[in-house]
Every structure is written in structure tokens, then in C-alpha cells.
Structure 1
Amino acid sequence: MPKAQKYKIYLLLVFVMAAWGFNVIATKILVTTFPTLTITSIRVFTAAISVFLILSIFKMVRLPNKKELRYILAAGFFNVVCHHFFLSMGLAKTTASNGGLILGLGPLLSTIVAFLFLKSRVTIPKIVGIILGFSGVAFIVASGNGGLSLRGISNGDLFVFLSIFTQSYSFVLIKKISNTLDPRLMTGYMLLFGSIVLFFISLFAEPGGLKKIPHGSLEVWMIFLASAVIATAIGHMIYNSAIGKVGVTESAIFINLNPFFALVGAVLFLGEKISSPQILGFLFILFGVLFGSGALEEFLHQSRLKKMPAHRGNVKNL
């Protein structure tokens, strides 16, 4: 692949990470303005419609077969219903900065899930990464009162952790069916299915929630559209496309920027103050993801492979 094209993909990935990081702030605003589950179901449904509109332009929409439908329903339950349910409930009870940092565990949890369910190999660097990552979360969730204390741990932090864990498990299901069903099309079906389930849950959990939806300001509705269309719909499509072009490992490295943008957004838009334990926790998670996800090992391995042919050529010329 030409370097210019690769750099273009990298820039798009940075854009996606910024969108996802700021989306934590957007979700925080939405769930504190509207009934949590009601607005979440509408936001996810809007994202689903956006995905199908985009895919229809490129004539990529088709009906799934029975096997694909089973995976869509299962992955949609974990990736959309559980993930967005726990994330929305969590952000309603914790700070956006905490939520963004804990979401940075995504690649690390994916490694653990892959080991448990796909029997992938676990190396010493990955074990070190897992320890570093969870140590970082411990610093973050135990700093709720400005100092390290178990009293700082909130239900919101736990819910955010569950949201990223359920999403990580769904990646196993997506991987198993990705050979026959395009991940971008699967994303659309999962969002559609998940939004319908979340809507019915909201009817029971938040009676009369729909009546409060029209009361939002124009500014809040602009945030809603940006969250649904840019972050959720377009963001996931760009990321899935990047995986197919530069690989899972190189794409996953950019996820480390997600909590950084969430922290920046929390300071700029919500006026939250970042504590020393949060900064320390961010650094632990950053290095934990680099080691635990296998990204660092793969990068070093690929670097050695690229150097080997040139080295051998030099040996022959001697």
C-alpha cells in the first residue's frame, strides 16, 4: 500500500478516535438531559438508519441467511443492547472522564475474551499488559473522592466496565461470521435490532419517557445527531474499513487515543477536573493496552520481517 494512502487511513482513524472520545461527552449530556434508555434507543436507531442509507448507496445491503441472523441477534444483544444499556446507565452515575478512561480497556478486554473463547495464545508481555491495565482502572475508580479510597468506586464505574466487557465478548461472535457477512452490514443490523430491544426496555423502565423527548434544546439535538450519525454510524464504518486495509493490530493501536480525547472533552465541555490518580491510571491503561493487546509485539515482529530481506540482500552482496 502506498504511504500516502496509509497516512490517509491513519488520519481517518485519528478522526474516529476523536469522535468516539467526544461521544462519551455527548452521551453524558444526552443521558442527563433526557430519560436515559429512551434517548439511547432513539440514538442507536438513528445510527442504524444512517448505516443502511450509506450502505444502500454502495449497494451493499442484503438480507442475512439463517446462520448469519443468529449471529446478528447474539452479537447485537451484547454489542448494542448490553453495551449501550450499561454505558448509558454508567455515564448517568459517573464522570465522563472516568467513563472515557475505563472504555480505554477495550483492546485489553478483547485480548482476555479471545484467550477464553478463541483459545488465543497468551504471552508474558500480554500478562504484564493485563496487570498494568487493570491497575490503571483501580487508580481511576478508587479516586472518586480526590484520593485513593474504596469509597470512590461507584456503580457508574462498574456499569461502564460491564459495557466494554460485553462489547468485547461480541467481537468473538462478529469474528466468527465475518467471512460471510460484511462487518459494516452486520453493524447496521445489530444497531437496528439493538435499538428495538432497548426501546421496549425503556417502555417498562421509563414510563412516559417519550413525552420528555421533545423538550430538548436545539443545541442538545445537534449533539444527538452528531453522536448518532458521526460517532456511532460513520465512525464504526470507517474503523471496520480500516481494519480490512491496515489490519486489526495497527487499527487497535489508535484506540489508545480514545480516552485521551474523552479526557480533553470532559475538561473543555463539562468543566471536569482531572486528578493525579486519573492521569496515572491513564498511563497504566495506555501501556497495558500496548502490551496486553499484542500490538507492541506485532509491531516489533513486523518491523523485523521488513528488515530481514534487506539484510539478507546485503549479506549476498558481500
Structure 2
Amino acid sequence: MQKLKPYILLILVMMIWGFNVPLIKMLVSTFEPVTITAFRIFTASLVVFLILGKMGKVHWPAIYHWKYILGGGLFNVFFHHLFLGLGAAGTSAVHTGIILGLGPILTAVMSVVFFRRGLSIFRVLGFVTGTAGVLVTVLGGGAGLSGFVLGDLYIFLSISAQAFSFILVSRAARDMDPLLLTGYMQLFGSFGLFLASFMLEPAGMASLQNINFNMVIVFMLSAVGATAVGHLVYNNTITKIGPAEAAIFLNLNTFFSIVGSAVILGESIYYYHWLGLLLIVPGVLMGSGALEEMIRKRRKTIIRSNK
């Protein structure tokens, strides 16, 4: 049972993150998107520091850590959530969830570019397949290019910014507790979102008058459950099973976001949505290197058993 615990936790986190997509759609449809996103991330950062304080892990970072905190906060929080909020307000939650499923592939592309990692035939095929999945999703339904909306582009920019941030975070995690790094990135990233909201949304604070009990529940589930606790559990669990296995679980995030969009928002799910998902899932497995890693492990197991 102890060996299964990390996998069970990851499944739960993927379900929480998947259902968070329609929750974000509800928030940005009720309030100004950047303003409510700033409050959501700021609340999440406070919860993260509260939890880390209970664990005795809060301390002031070293000077050389700040470049990673500010860089990660800029891309992992500010740009990622800025475009996510704007995109979710301009496209469907189903489209949002499927496009976000490109995360592992884009992270692998960044690794190839910045770390000069080898580009195998599996990865190339994964990149092509995953991209085809997104194109099928956003251009499906017979609408062609007219079916593409600005919100889809924002979501793509959002996941691209997050993928780039993972390069910074992976480097910073060698010297700094990733959980503490998460808290500082969210805190300073939320400050940037507040500044952006004042410039982009003059009526942002006024939109908070639309608050009601149901929106408070949605806000807390998203900020505390998904953004704060979800990221802490994920960052802590991922070190125990490795990145290859994690890429497989990230496919569940996309699946749960589609299910959540249908159940919570009543959005329609068409055949091209499932076709896009069916292309992205193997694309992630191949493009992220997960398939190659599983093959290598399988070969090692066979070699050991034959000795």
C-alpha cells in the first residue's frame, strides 16, 4: 500500500487540477479575469506558507536563489496565470483543458532547446502527434480557421510560459526546497498580477461586487484545493516516482478537465474533442520521453531476470 500511495495521490491531484479548469471558467466569467486570478494566486501563496510554516520550512532565501524565484514567478505564475485567466474567459473550458494537455510536450521541447538533449524519432513523432491533437480540437467542428478564437491562443501562450518555467524550476530545485520555491513564486507572481489588473482592468475591483456564497466556495476550492495544496502535493510526490511516470498521469488532468467541463458547466463534448485527446495522449507519452523511459526500464528488467 505504501508503494501505491504516491500514485494514488497523483491521481487525486490530476482530478483536482482537471476539475479546476471549469472552476476557473466560472470565476473569470463572474469577475474580471486578471483581478480574480491575482486574488486566487495570492490566497494560494498564503496557504502554502501557512502549511510550510507548520512544517518548519519557511526561511528567507539566499541571494543567489532570487533569480530563480523571480524568473519562476514571472513565467510559472505571472505569464502562465495571466494568459490562463484571459484565455479561459475567451474560450470553452473543454478547449482550455485539452490545450493545457500539451504541457509535457512543450516542456520536452524546451529541454531539447536549452539543455541540448537528444531528439529521438519517438519525441519528434510525439511533437507532431500532440500538435495535431490541438489543431483538431481548436479547428474542429467544420468551422476551420473561423473556429479558432483568441482565447485558444492565450491558453497556448499560458502553457508555453509554464513549460519554460519548468526549466528554471528544475535548475533551482537543485539548491532550494521546491515547496518553498513554490510559495515564493506564487507570492511574488501574484503581486505582478495585481499590478497588471490595475492597468488592464480599471473596473477589476468593482467586479468583486458580484461575489456570492457559491462563488466563495468556487474560489476557495480553486485557490486552496487546486493551486495551493495541489501544487504542494504534486511537487512533493513527483520526486518519488520520476518525471517519466508523471507525464503519464498528466494525461488524466486533460481527461478530468473535459469531464468536469461537461458535469459542472454543461459544456458539449464533440467527437473532435475526443479525437484531439486521443492524439495528445500518445503525443505526451512519446514527446515527453515517458515511452522511451518505460522501454528502457523494461529492457533492464528483462536483462536482470535473464542473468
- The superposition leaves residues 67-103 of structure 1 with CA deviations (integer Å, 9 ceiling, x where unpaired) of 1111110111001000000011001000000000000
Contact in 2 for aligned 1:133/1:284 (Cα 8 Å): yes
Q: In the alignment, which residue of structure 2 is the partner of 1:315?
A: none
Q: Distance in 1 between matches of 2:225 and 2:300?
A: 37
Partner of 1:272, secondary structure, is coil
Displacement of 1:148 in angstroms is: 4.9
Displacement of 1:6 in angstroms is: 2.4
Displacement of 1:147 in angstroms is: 1.7
Q: In the alignment, which residue of structure 2 is the partner of 1:24?
A: 21
5+ residue gaps, structure 1? 313-318
Q: In the alignment, which residue of structure 2 is the partner of 1:300?
A: 295
Contact in 1 for aligned 2:247/2:284 (Cα 8 Å): no
Partner of 1:169, secondary structure, is helix
Q: In the alignment, which residue of structure 1 is the partner of 2:52?
A: 55
Q: Distance in 2 between matches of 1:215 and 1:31?
A: 11
Q: Distance in 2 between matches of 1:300 and 1:148?
A: 40
Answering whether residue 41 of structure 2 is matched by residue 41 of structure 1, we say no
Answering whether residue 20 of structure 2 is matched by residue 8 of structure 1, we say no
**What TM-score do you get using the length of structure 2 for normalisation?**
0.98
Q: Distance in 2 between matches of 1:150 and 1:209?
A: 32
Which of the numbers 189, 201, 220 marks the counterpart of 2:184?
189
- The superposition leaves residues 194-232 of structure 1 with CA deviations (integer Å, 9 ceiling, x where unpaired) of 101100111121113223314311111101001011101
Which of the numbers 222, 234, 238 marks the counterpart of 2:233?
238
Which ranges of 4 or more aligned residues in structure 1 deviate by more than 6 Å? none
Which of the numbers 135, 140, 143 marks the counterpart of 2:137?
140
**What TM-score do you get using the length of structure 1 for normalisation?**
0.95
Partner of 2:99, secondary structure, is helix
Displacement of 1:179 in angstroms is: 1.1
Contact in 2 for aligned 1:37/1:201 (Cα 8 Å): yes
Question: Aligned AA for 1:110?
Answer: T
Which of the numbers 100, 103, 109 marks the counterpart of 2:100?
103
Partner of 1:92, secondary structure, is helix
RMSD: 1.0
Contact in 2 for aligned 1:41/1:195 (Cα 8 Å): yes
Q: Distance in 2 between matches of 1:56 and 1:223?
A: 25
Q: Distance in 2 between matches of 1:241 and 1:148?
A: 43
Contact in 2 for aligned 1:60/1:185 (Cα 8 Å): yes
Q: Distance in 1 between matches of 2:221 and 2:235?
A: 19
Partner of 1:109, secondary structure, is helix
Q: In the alignment, which residue of structure 2 is the partner of 1:114?
A: 111
Q: Distance in 1 between matches of 2:225 and 2:301?
A: 36
Q: In the alignment, which residue of structure 2 is the partner of 1:127?
A: 124
Contact in 2 for aligned 1:41/1:196 (Cα 8 Å): yes
Q: Distance in 2 between matches of 1:65 and 1:214?
A: 41
Answering whether residue 162 of structure 2 is matched by residue 174 of structure 1, we say no
Identity rate of aligned residues, in percent?
Answer: 45
